[in-house]
Amino acid sequence: MGGAPADLQRLADRLSRSAWHNGVTLSLYDRETGRETHVGSGALDKRTPYFATGASKLFVTAILLQLCEEGKIDLDMPFLRYISNTASCLELHVMDRVDRTDQITLRHLMSHRSGLGNFFIYKRQARELRHMVGDGVDSSWGFEDAMQRARSHGAIRAPGTGERAYYSDTNYHILGRVIEDVTGMSFARAVQSRIAEPLGLQATYVYCDPSDSRPVDPMSRAQHVHVPRTMASFQADGGIVTTSRESMIFARGFFEGYLFDKRILPRLFTWHPMFFPTEFGAGMMHVQVPWWMTLPYRLRFRARNFFKPAPRLIGHIGLGGTLCFYAPDHGVYVAGTVNQLVDPARGLAFGLRGVEDVVGRIRAQYLRDARLQPEHAAPLASHI
């Protein structure tokens, strides 16, 4: 275990004093030393629940890979094979008067290459919906509502074609239903039994009850956003509640093989450009930020090495500045949030700064003080 280094804690305190933040939190784990580092300020610390939003998609990916191991699904089969009530998905992908819904595989959905529009933020009406959420206007929807909205937006390209991935919450809304129909349990129960319980996560769950006040509300600029019915509607595409420390533990479980055979992971690393500098594989993001894009945030965060390449990350970011990543070139996990809907890049920059500090000063100081060698890194179970 380890507390926050002074510079990183001062940065967190400075962010939380801003009118745009009610709190920030970051948890990191260094595989070389076995050391945890935690930063928290304002209303958030390593044990405070927050909405994981888009980072929830890693939980979906983990369960799908478990189902693959169990022989219950095949990622390259059409998703309709695993949906018990296909009526809600009829003519979901129609383009040039051709219905290609039955051509969409699970891998297409996981990779955002299904060609389906985004029921939440795709066209003008959906953008207005997103803005309403940012303004605190609460609403709710179910699976059929989301499918009808996606159907009305229309398909954007044939499944699996083109080089780009097009982000669509519709994809993971469908994958959540696949998990429910294949496992015979709710998505919330699947997360609990397949992820939270095996990893010993006590504060990680799917937000289902609008009266649940445990998670800290996100901010939209200087406004607190309380939209519990909306958050309860997301489910698989953004409805996980977690803490920075438990999200970090989940990341370790995901990439170190505690949830499924990690040897399958390289088969998911076929990256397609999404929005620069982000690429998407099957179920996760790959982020390599060029040094020049980090300058505004490194200046703001008072980093020392302005021209140093930013750490490469694999995992997921989410609306509200949430992040759950592994930096494979450095052996560091990072998870947390800045809890701000308007500027999610701020969360990514905060996480990159944390990784750089771990790789630099924190690791060096710890190895000097404790005289540890890399082989002394602690196993996952000792940190639960």
Backbone φ/ψ region at 162: left (φ over 0), alpha (ψ -120 to 50), beta: left
- Widest CA span in the chain: 68
Beta bridge partners of 372: none
Type of residue at 50: Y
Looking up tokens 């009808």 gives 148
pTM of this structure: 0.91
CA 107 to chain centre: 18
Domain topology for 6-52+235-383: Beta-lactamase (3.40.710)
Encode the chain (384 residues) as per-residue pLDDT tens digits.
Answer: 556 678 889 999 999 999 999 999 999 999 999 999 999 999 999 999 999 999 999 999 999 999 999 999 999 999 999 999 999 999 999 998 999 999 999 999 999 999 998 887 644 344 444 456 666 778 899 999 999 989 988 899 999 999 999 999 999 999 999 999 999 999 999 999 999 999 999 999 999 999 999 999 999 999 999 999 999 999 999 999 999 999 999 999 999 999 999 999 999 999 999 988 899 999 999 999 886 666 666 565 555 566 678 899 999 999 899 999 999 999 999 999 999 988 888 899 899 989 988 888 777 777 777 665 555 444 443 333
Q: At what angle do helices 345-357 and 6-17 cross, to 10 degrees?
A: 160
> How are the residues of the chain apportioned to helix, strand and coil, as percentages rounded to the nearest 5?
45, 15, 40
Q: How many CA atoms lie within 13 A of 56 on its CB side?
A: 31
Q: What is the pLDDT of residues 84-141, one digit of tens each?
A: 999 999 999 999 899 999 999 999 999 999 999 888 764 434 444 445 666 677 889 9
Task: Tell me the average pLDDT of the chain.
Answer: 89
- β-pairing, 23-30 vs 35-42, is antiparallel
CB 203 within 8 A of CB 272: no
DSSP label at residue 118: P
- Residue 298: its pLDDT value, please? 59
Take residue 254 and report the two structure tokens written for it: 């995901």
CATH 3.40.710.10 domain locations along the chain = 56-202
287: phi then psi, degrees, rounded to nearest 5? -125, 120
Domain 56-202 fold is Beta-lactamase (3.40.710)
Residue-wise pLDDT for 294-345, tens only, equals 666 656 555 556 667 889 999 999 989 999 999 999 999 999 999 998 888 8
